[in-house]
Amino acid sequence: MSETPEPTFGIDELCSLTGVARRTVRFYTQKGLLDPPEGERRGAYYTRRHLEQLLLIRKWQAAGVSLERIGRLLRGEEIELPPAPEPGAIEVWSRVTLRPGLELHLEPGRLGLTPEQARELIQRLMAASEPR
Determine the residue type at 86: E
The domain 8-74 having CATH identifier 1.10.1660.10: the answer here is yes
CA dist 11 and 116 (Å) reads: 44
Q: Enumerate the domain spans of the chain.
A: 8-74, 94-129
Give the model's pLDDT for residue 56.
87
CA dist 69 and 66 (Å) reads: 5
Prediction pTM value: 0.57
Number of alpha carbons in the 13 Å side-chain half-sphere of residue 98: 18
Give the model's pLDDT for residue 80.
64
Mean pLDDT by 10 residues, the chain (132 residues): 74 90 93 89 86 88 82 79 68 82 82 78 87 78
Number of alpha carbons in the 13 Å side-chain half-sphere of residue 38: 12
Give the model's pLDDT for residue 74.
83
Give the model's pLDDT for residue 69.
86
Give the model's pLDDT for residue 83.
65
CA dist 48 and 7 (Å) reads: 7
- Give how far Cα 99 sits from Cα of 93, 103, 123, 125, 130, Å: 18, 7, 12, 10, 8
- Give how far Cα 126 sits from Cα of 85, 96, 102, 107, 121, Å: 28, 10, 10, 17, 9
